[in-house]
C-alpha cells in the first residue's frame, strides 16, 4: 500500500513539531515549578489554542492525495480517499466543540491563577 500525501503535509509536519517542542518546554517548566503560575497557565492556554486550531485545520484540509495498492483498483482507491476526507470534514465540528470546552477550562485556570498570583 502506498499513501501519497498532499502538498500541505510539510506545513502540518512543522506545525506539529513546533507544538511538540512547546509542549516539552512547558513540561520542563512544570517540572521546575509544579504549581500553576500565571506564566505556565498562559502558556498552556496558548499551546492548547494552537493545538485545537491545528486539529480543526487538519480536519478541514484534504491531506490524503491518493492511495495505491496491489489489490486496490483506482476507483476503489478514489472512493476510500473521498470517504476519508468526508469523515474528517464531518468530525471537524466535534473537534471545534472539544477545543472550545478545553479552552474554556484553560482560560478559567489562567484567570484564577492570575488573581491568586
**Quick one: pLDDT at residue 91?**
95
Is residue 86 a contact partner of residue 64, using CB atoms and an 8 Å limit? no
The answer on pLDDT for 51 being more than 70 is yes
How does 78-102 read in b/e, with b if 16+ C-beta sit within 10 Å? Answer: eeebeeebeebeeebeebbeebeee
What pLDDT does residue 117 have? 60
Is a pLDDT exceeding 80 seen at residue 105?
Answer: yes
Q: What average pLDDT score do residues 100-110 get?
A: 94
pLDDT for residue 59: 92
With 0-12 / 13-18 / 19 or more C-beta atoms within 10 angstroms meaning exposed / middle / buried, residue 110 is buried
What is the residue extent of each domain of the chain? 2-116
Q: How confident is the model at residue 114 (pLDDT cuts 50, 70, 90)?
A: confident
- For residues 86 and 115, the model is more confident at 86
Coil, strand or helix at 3? strand
Q: Is the pLDDT of residue 113 over 70?
A: yes
- In tens, the pLDDT along 24-42 reads 999 999 999 888 889 999 9
Q: Which CA distances in Å does 54 have to 12, 26, 78, 117?
A: 8, 18, 25, 31
Amino acid at each position: 500500500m502506498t499513501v501519497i500525501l498532499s502538498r500541505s503535509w510539510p506545513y502540518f509536519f512543522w506545525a506539529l513539531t513546533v507544538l511538540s517542542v512547546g509542549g516539552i518546554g512547558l513540561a520542563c517548566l512544570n517540572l521546575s515549578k509544579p504549581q500553576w503560575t500565571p506564566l505556565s497557565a498562559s502558556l498552556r492556554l496558548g499551546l492548547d489554542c494552537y493545538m485545537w486550531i491545528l486539529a480543526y485545520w487538519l480536519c478541514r484540509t484534504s491531506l490524503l492525495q491518493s492511495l495505491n495498492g496491489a489489490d486496490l483498483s483506482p476507483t476503489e482507491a478514489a472512493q476510500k480517499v473521498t470517504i476519508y476526507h468526508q469523515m474528517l470534514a464531518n468530525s471537524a465540528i466535534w473537534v471545534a466543540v472539544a477545543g472550545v470546552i478545553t479552552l474554556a477550562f484553560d482560560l478559567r485556570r489562567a484567570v484564577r491563577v492570575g488573581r491568586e498570583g
